[in-house]
Each structure stands twice: as C-alpha cells, then as structure tokens.
Structure 1
Amino acid sequence: MARIGCWSLPAEIIDARGLKCPLPVLKMEKRLEAMASGATLNVLATDPMAKIDIPLFCRQNGHQCSLVTQDDAINFSIIKG
C-alpha cells in the first residue's frame, strides 16, 4: 500500500494478462504518469517479454520494481519514483 501522510492507499492494478509487449508497458507508463510519487501500481502480465521490459522501464525512469510469478501470470509491484 502506498502511504500518503498517515493514510495508506490501496495499490492500483493493471490487468495486462493476454496482452503482448509493448502493450503492458504502455498501459503501465500511462497509469504511472497520473499517480503520485510513492504510490504503488501492480501489473499482471503473461507475456514473457514483460519480465525484461517492465523492470527495464522502471530502472530507466526511477521506479522500484519487484516481481513474483503466480501460476501463469507475472505480478509486478511498482513504486513510483
């Protein structure tokens, strides 16, 4: 959860399962633009290229990114820098 002051906000979620890159990255980029620094975005993806593209985008743009593989999907947890 993102913390703003003493309040916690639930993470926003993008369900990009079934989409091929670069669509998951483009959807993530657009959503991150509208979010405050420190906010958390979860992205669900199934395209194996997302394991490379999403962390690379995050490193290049100052965001923290971690991932967990769950069943057939990859769950990326991104904290906006």
Structure 2
Amino acid sequence: MPHDFRLDVKGTLCPIPVIKAKKMLAKMSAGQKLLIETTDPVAQIDIPHMCNQLGFTLLETAAVDGGHKFLVQK
C-alpha cells in the first residue's frame, strides 16, 4: 500500500480512529494518500462511512494480524 502519510491508531477505540483520521486528512493536499492502521473492530464500519460522508476515496482495505489497514485518498 504505497502512501504519503501513515496514521497508527492501534490500541484506540471508536471514535478515536475516525477523529484522528479526519484531523490528519484535513492537513493533507488533494490526491495524497493516508494509510490508517487500527485494531478497533468497529473501524471496518467507521472508516468507510467517514469516507462516504466526507468525500474521500477508500482505495484499499486489508485485514492484518490483530486489526485492519485502510488506504484513503483525499
């Protein structure tokens, strides 16, 4: 997953992953990619929902040992 920025929110629970992702995405330029790493099982619902609500593109989702990775493009 090639990316411009990485956000490690492993060990945090809803709504922290989404709040931190929104803050980081707000600082990024259009077209840049953010890799979000999380262990929160609810992030499987929350991250795609955030993308749909705010107009970001969810490029890739991957289940990894103990969590998930999401690649979001602003």
In structure 2, runs of 5+ residues without a counterpart are none
Structure with more relative contact order (C-alpha pairs < 8 Å, separation 6 or more): 2
Q: Is residue 41–residue 67 contact of structure 2 (8 Å, CA) maintained in 1?
A: no
Provide the secondary structure at the position in 2 that maps to 1:19: coil
Looking at structure 2, the residues matched to 67 and 21 of structure 1 have their Cα atoms a distance apart, in angstroms, of: 18
1:55 aligns with 2:48: yes
**Superposed CA RMSD:** 1.0
Looking at structure 1, the residues matched to 27 and 40 of structure 2 have their Cα atoms a distance apart, in angstroms, of: 24
Q: TM-score, normalising length from structure 1?
A: 0.84
Deviates further, 26-35 or 60-69: 60-69
What letter is aligned with 1:72?
Answer: G
Provide the secondary structure at the position in 1 that maps to 2:29: coil
Looking at structure 1, the residues matched to 4 and 63 of structure 2 have their Cα atoms a distance apart, in angstroms, of: 18
Higher helix share: 2
Q: TM-score, normalising length from structure 2?
A: 0.92
Looking at structure 2, the residues matched to 58 and 19 of structure 1 have their Cα atoms a distance apart, in angstroms, of: 19
Shift of 1:58: 0.4
Runs of 4+ in 1 over 3 A off after TM superposition: none
1:17 aligned partner: 10
Higher strand share: 1
Provide the secondary structure at the position in 2 that maps to 1:38: coil
Alignment counterpart, residue 72 of structure 1, candidates 60, 66, 70: 66
In structure 1, runs of 5+ residues without a counterpart are 2-9
